[in-house]
Structure 1
């Protein structure tokens, strides 16, 4: 699931209904502003991690392409044979030895190239796994942070409701007492 960091991750309610002596508006507004700032930081961290993972994947692709091009060039150079028919026996023997050495060099180079490709593929898998783990960790951290913030907001809201209810009950009781004194 991809989330655009330029939009809100969770639609946050940034206002509260006004109640008679219900809450300290500046305190609630400050709390919401702080919560939104923290969400922007978490989103920026997540975006930076994803960008780094994408950059590493692009770098790995470039290295693999460069390796393939070098391997093709090596094969072209090494596969051009020398015709021993027109050479004296001693030179023909030297060419045969050189040809055998060339084949060994090609085998060694191919083995090294295979090892490099295998290592690059292993590194690519490792980088992909690390990037996936990092993304999952960021998602889990964000989910936990949001759950904690949501729980805290619900607790604060319940507390505000309790205070408002108690204040309303006190006012009603005072009104009843005053009403009894008037009658």
Structure 2
């Protein structure tokens, strides 16, 4: 099993502060990996040797216990028998077998003892090697720590020196910058004063020229606006006159269409009345005789509407149209621009109920 010291030793420390001077980080990590791998292998060998030694120790203890038990048995057998019957050949063979067994166990115990001695030597060697590796690692770690501390101190000293030099350089630069700033401000104030005077004179001249030019442009714009207003007024009057004439023309055309539609409606109404008269006469002519009309009322079939004898289809009458389209009068010139013709009104189709159905 891994000891408390091993747990504190592994894994090895790998985090170091980066400095300007020192060992190569990759080489250090590679060396630490190699050392850690060797250390782990040594620890594994040590644990295996210790486990083997423990096993051999248990076997040796068992062999010693067996030897003691057999020695006690041999001593019991070596005692003189109390009776003559005990000295038989069987007992002698038993004693011989016990002695041979004891010799065998003694040989095994000696072999186990030799193995134990060898494992003890191996364990001692591994322990010594382990201690040497630990001392080597501690020395390397101490050397690395010392070098890191020295490099850190050197870096701090260099940084302190650079900081002092930078502060002195900054002070000198601040003094030089302040001197240049004052010189530039004086030159700038002088230049700005001269430019301000020239600019004020230029602005005054520009104001005078702009005022004259603005007055001239206002006069030109006023004349141009008056001319445009006159032209727009004349054009608007002309457009209104054209629109009024177009609207009157469209209104006359619409009235003519309405009159034509009214005449067509009257003609259709006359034709419908004539068709109704023809249907009425046809119905009276198709009325069945008295002998043909005697039928069983309980099983009477529904009476079909009279059909046209010529076409063989139901006769329907059409009611006259109930609404006549009146002419539309345009109220504004814009309405005259809509060049749309009024659709002719269609007579409403209404089927006329046959006279036979009314009698029923």
- Of 37, 40, 50, which residue of structure 2 is paired with 1:47? 40
Pair 1:2-2:16 in alignment: no
Q: Structure 2 CA distance, aligned partners of 1:3 and 1:142?
A: 15
Listed as ranges, the gaps of 5+ residues in structure 1 are 17-22, 86-91
**Normalised by the size of structure 1, how large is the TM-score?**
0.60
**Partner deviation per Cα, 1:51-110 (whole Å, 9 max, x = no partner):** 0111223334455666757x96xx7xxx9xxx995xxxxxx6xx96x7787566455435
Q: Which residue, 29, 51, 74 being the options, matches 1:58?
A: 51
CA distance in 2, matches of 1:172, 1:14: 27
Question: Which residue number in structure 2 is paired with residue 36 of structure 1?
Answer: 29
Q: Partner of 2:240 in structure 1?
A: none
Q: Normalized per residue, which structure has more helix?
A: 1
In the other structure, the counterpart of 1:126 is 121
Shift of 1:49: 0.3
* Rg larger for: 2
The 5 Å alignment of 1:87-126 reads: 105-106=100-101, 108-126=103-121
Q: 1:161 to 1:42 in 2, by over 3 A?
A: same
Aligned-partner SS, 1:3: helix
- Aligned: 1:142 with 2:137: yes
How many aligned positions are there?
158
Shift of 1:147: 0.4
In the other structure, the counterpart of 1:89 is none
- Note the aligned Cα RMSD (angstroms): 4.1
The worse-fitting range, judged by mean Cα deviation, of 126-135 and 55-64 is 55-64
* Kept in 1: contact 2:56–2:112 (CA 8 A): no
Partner Cα separation in structure 2 for residue 173 and residue 102 of structure 1: 105
Q: 1:57 touches 1:128 (CA, 8 Å); kept in 2?
A: yes
Superposition TM-score, scaled by structure 2 size: 0.35
Give unmatched runs, 5+ long, in structure 2. Answer: 75-85, 180-360
Q: In structure 1, how many angstroms separate the alpha carbons of the residues matched to 2:125 and 2:111?
A: 20
Higher relative contact order (CA 8 A, sep 6+): 1
Distance 2:8 2:38 in 1: 13
